[in-house]
Amino acid sequence: MLIGVPKEIKVHEYRVGLTPEAVREYTAAGHSVLVQSGAGAGIGASDAAYETAGASIASSAADVFAKAQMIVKVKEPQPSEWKQLRKGQILFTYLHLAPDPDQARGLVESGCTAVAYETVTDKAGGLPLLAPMSEVAGRLAIEAAGLALQRHAGGRGLLLGGVPGVLPARVAVIGGGVVGTHAARMAVGLGTDVVVLDRSLPRLRELDELFEGRVRTRFSTLQAIEDEVVAADVVIGAVLVPGASAPRLVSRAMLSRMKRGAVLVDVAIDQGGCFETSHATTHAEPTYEIDGVIHYCVANMPGAVPLTSSYALNNATLPFGLALAAGGIDAVMSNPHLAAGLNVHRGAITNQAVAESLGVSFVAPHTALAA
């Protein structure tokens, strides 16, 4: 199969769909790879490095989209990209369709087969292609919060870990999954006062054991969220409903009771955000203020550290990408984990959570593939 790797064009997105090392794996398996010139610049990978790995270099994205049988990206296709997709072509990337009806419509109209990293599953029921970027985003969330808390950035002027004789910041993490765990890990390491809220008692027990009492855990009720948000200096939104829009857990009314200069970091913004006042921002303009509270809602947080992120992502996506390259549609039909990742196929939405969030008809993956 001919695999295409276009350069990412989302604002301040420096990751790349395939690293040179991953390209070598594809070519060793007998596939051809076409990489847009400059696609790896954000991670310091030259065109020559890709050629050494066995890739050919294309002068433009249009050339990649026109020739490739499978497109491997990082972020969801932008309007100029989804217009270049075609029937029979496989798209393998993050999609986050639930809050993005325009992109969903564009993919449906293209007739392509779109497999989303964020809904591919594994034998344990996890989301193995979402996990590495969730790890990165969780850790970055605390770094972003620390910067936003500084007075010149509009924050309270508070040092996350405090100093002897001065209390540290209070950090509330809503969601105890991968993002929340890594955010808590970073926050604890800096010496903050951390609470993690989650609706799974088994998960709260795991976190209590993992952090050996250094993190407070609390069952996530409406009252618990309100209590912790109002008391917090930093709130990390780390909730996830696979494929679906994130639930809005922090209301505008709660926001009005928060400390002036407190910081909200909405890591769930890719799925629409978990704060009522959230809207997506970019690395160019990452924050905004509402009711005196600083919001950080960058929709591609791991793009800030593309070297780490690209390699972490490729480590996870490689076996699935190789399976798709080897078997095409048949690989999706025979592999339940890839079938879970199928979001769009030949004009149909094939993920139930996505369809329900968008308010459109759902076609089961195997029904769509057999049509």
Closest to 354 in 3D by CA, of 155, 85, 118, 147: 118
203: helix, coil or strand? helix
DSSP state of 169: P
To the query of whether residue 47 is one of the catalytic residues in this protein, the response is no
13: helix, coil or strand? coil
350: helix, coil or strand? coil
Give percent above pLDDT 90 in the chain. 94
Mean per-residue pLDDT, 141-146: 98
Paired tokens of 156: 């309270």
CA distance 233 to 162: 12
Mean per-residue pLDDT, 197-206: 97
Q: What is the pLDDT of residue 246?
A: 86
Match 């808390």 to its residue by tokens.
149
* pLDDT tens digits, one per residue of 234-280: 999 999 888 788 899 999 999 999 999 999 999 999 889 999 999 99
The DSSP line for 47-105 is HHHHHHTT-EEESSHHHHHHH-SEEE-SSPPPHHHHTT--TT-EEEE----TT-HHHHH
Q: Is the pLDDT of residue 144 over 90?
A: yes
Q: What is the pLDDT of residue 241?
A: 81
Question: Domains, the chain, ranges and CATH?
Answer: 2-127+305-370 (3.40.50.720), 131-304 (3.40.50.720)
Q: What is the pLDDT of residue 84?
A: 97
Q: Is the pLDDT of residue 371 over 80?
A: no
CA distance 160 to 231: 15
Mean per-residue pLDDT, 10-38: 97
Mean per-residue pLDDT, 46-55: 98
Helix (H) or strand (E) holding 116: strand 113-116
Strands 342-345 and 348-349: antiparallel
- Model confidence band, residue 11 (pLDDT cutoffs 50, 70, 90): confident
Q: What is the pLDDT of residue 125?
A: 86
The average confidence (pLDDT) of the chain is: 96
* pLDDT tens digits, one per residue of 71-128: 999 999 999 999 999 999 999 999 999 999 999 999 999 999 999 999 999 998 899 9
Catalytic pick among 270, 295, 337, 345: 270
- pTM surpassing 0.85? yes
Q: How many CB atoms lie within 10 A of CB 121?
A: 18
- Model confidence band, residue 318 (pLDDT cutoffs 50, 70, 90): very high
Catalytic pick among 96, 182, 337, 345: 96
To the query of whether residue 63 is one of the catalytic residues in this protein, the response is no
* pLDDT tens digits, one per residue of 60-73: 999 999 999 999 99
- Contact indicator for 118, 351 with CB cutoff of 8 Å: no
Q: What is the pLDDT of residue 251?
A: 95
Match 């991953």 to its residue by tokens.
22
